[in-house]
């Protein structure tokens, strides 16, 4: 990798504070409710320790975060992956952190023998769409768009 | 529940053949690849036994199936649910099986203390959209549609 190019690394227990800070800031920026940063960081590290969740960090702050959840596929004997969160703080955007996080996430998915990966995103987030499409994702089945439907309980 | 109204029930190991048959038929109808019915049924029962997957069946055949996957939320100490599959065979549609499956799935989600449930669906599947919206799901964040982006690995 060229000197200065962004790289991503797997988060572990010592990263709890950074993970909590970034995920809290993510939801705050988009006016979504979020628990306290400390709570989120501790929860994330519990999930990492349990084995079916990985968190990737990028940038010196760190300034970018990606959360991926794994589950066994019902259609194959591999796993499928769900990229649950992807966020780069505004002041660190357009430096390749999103690409570094996505490249590292896809590498981890392949190492874990996943055969499918998916995520949800808003219609208007053109930067994210470009990133996902550059990494081979599509929001269509044939000619049709694919929607996320969701609700709280 | 009124006599004759559709009801859904949780699948268990003795339902492996029915589960495999319905999921195989689902993918075959939509021209998606699928393993043999026997393989799918066995895999589904392994996942059910592992605890983070539930399968609901409805109709006498049974004729309808719903698969829900649970994972711990990173935003709360509850779980979140992903409705991975929902299918009713063509000859049993418009008899309330989809509603019975969705009602039972939401009841299970609440029993398991989930605070969020989501699924993906094609833009053109108006019957499915009506069903999800009737059960309180939305495919928008504010004014924006929410897309699924996905790829194979």
State the Cα–Cα distance between residues A68 and A52, nearest whole angstrom.
8
A 98-127 → B contacts, CB under 8 A = 106, 109-110, 114-124
Across the interface, whether the CB atoms of A138 and B150 are under 8 A apart is answered yes
Q: Contacts of residue A150 in chain B, CB cutoff 8 Å?
A: 116-119, 137-139, 146
Residues β-bridged to residue A47: none
Q: What is the pTM of this model?
A: 0.94
Kind of pairing between the strands at B144-152 and B140-141: antiparallel
Count of all residues that appear for chain A in the document = 153
Band (pLDDT 50/70/90 cuts) for residue A3 is very low
Q: B56 lies in a domain?
A: yes
Q: A81 lies in a domain?
A: yes
Average pLDDT, chain B: 95
**CA dist A80 to A18, A87, A119, B39, Å?**
27, 21, 11, 17
Q: B28 lies in a domain?
A: yes
State the Cα–Cα distance between residues B148 and A132, nearest whole angstrom.
11
pLDDT greater than 50 at residue A2: no
Query: From the list B106, B144, B148, which residue is nearest A139 (CB)?
Result: B148
Give phi and psi for A2, each to the nearest 5: -65, 145
- How close B116 comes to chain A (CA, Å)? 4
Query: For B91-126, what is each residue's pLDDT tens digit?
Result: 999 999 999 999 999 999 999 999 999 999 999 999
Band (pLDDT 50/70/90 cuts) for residue B4 is low
* Confidence (pLDDT) at A53: 98
Nearest CA-CA partner of B148 in A110, A130, A141, A67:
A141
* Confidence (pLDDT) at B2: 44
State the Cα–Cα distance between residues B64 and B31, nearest whole angstrom.
18
Do you find a cis peptide bond into B62, omega within 30 degrees of 0? yes
The residue of chain A nearest to residue B136, with distances taken between CA atoms, is A151
Q: Cβ(B76)–Cβ(A35) under 8 Å?
A: yes
Do you find a cis peptide bond into A62, omega within 30 degrees of 0? yes
Query: SS3 for B146?
Result: strand
Q: A85 lies in a domain?
A: yes
A 16-45 → B contacts, CB under 8 A = 23, 27, 34-35, 40, 43-44
pLDDT greater than 80 at residue A57: yes
State the Cα–Cα distance between residues B16 and B119, nearest whole angstrom.
23
Q: Cβ(A41)–Cβ(A21) under 8 Å?
A: yes
Query: For A80-139, what is each residue's pLDDT tens digit?
Result: 999 999 999 999 999 999 999 999 999 999 999 999 999 999 999 999 999 999 999 999
What is the CATH number for A56?
A: 3.40.630.30
Could you tell me the residue range of the domain that residue A51 belongs to?
8-145
Q: B3 lies in a domain?
A: no
* Confidence (pLDDT) at B37: 98
Q: B153 lies in a domain?
A: no
Across the interface, whether the CB atoms of B149 and A141 are under 8 A apart is answered no
Query: For A28-47, what is each residue's pLDDT tens digit?
Result: 999 999 999 999 999 999 99
Q: A60 lies in a domain?
A: yes
Query: For A75-97, what is each residue's pLDDT tens digit?
Result: 999 999 999 999 999 999 999 99
Across the interface, whether the CB atoms of A69 and B67 are under 8 A apart is answered no
Q: Is the ipTM of this complex over 0.90?
A: yes
- How close A99 comes to chain B (CA, Å)? 16
Q: Contacts of residue B139 in chain A, CB cutoff 8 Å?
A: 147-150
Token representation of residue A89: 């703080």
The residue of chain B nearest to residue A108, with distances taken between CA atoms, is B153
Q: CB-based contacts of A1: which residues, under 8 Å, 6+ apart?
A: A7
Band (pLDDT 50/70/90 cuts) for residue B6 is confident
Q: A140 lies in a domain?
A: yes
- B144, B151, B152: best to mutate for the A interface, most A CBs within 10 A: B151
DSSP string, B99-141: HHHHHHHHHHHHHTTEEEEEEEEETT-HHHHHHHHHTT-BSEE
* Confidence (pLDDT) at A6: 86
| Total domains present in chain B | 1
CA dihedral B119, B124, B126, B128 (to 10 degrees): -30
């Amino acid at each position: 990798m060229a000197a200065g190019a962004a790289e991503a690394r797997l988060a572990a227990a010592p990263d709890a504070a950074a993970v909590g800070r970034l995920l809290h800031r993510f939801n705050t920026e988009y006016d979504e409710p979020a628990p306290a940063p400390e709570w989120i960081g501790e929860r994330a590290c519990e999930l990492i320790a349990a084995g079916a969740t990985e968190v990737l960090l990028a940038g010196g702050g760190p300034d970018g975060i990606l959360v991926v959840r794994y589950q066994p596929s019902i259609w194959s004997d591999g796993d499928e992956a769900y990229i649950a969160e992807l966020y780069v703080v505004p002041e660190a955007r357009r430096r390749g952190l999103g690409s570094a996080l996505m490249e590292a996430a896809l590498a981890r998915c392949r190492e874990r023998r996943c055969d499918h990966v998916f995520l949800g995103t808003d219609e208007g987030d053109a930067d994210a769409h470009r990133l996902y499409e550059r990494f081979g994702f599509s929001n269509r089945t044939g000619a049709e768009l694919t929607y996320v439907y969701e609700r709280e309980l």
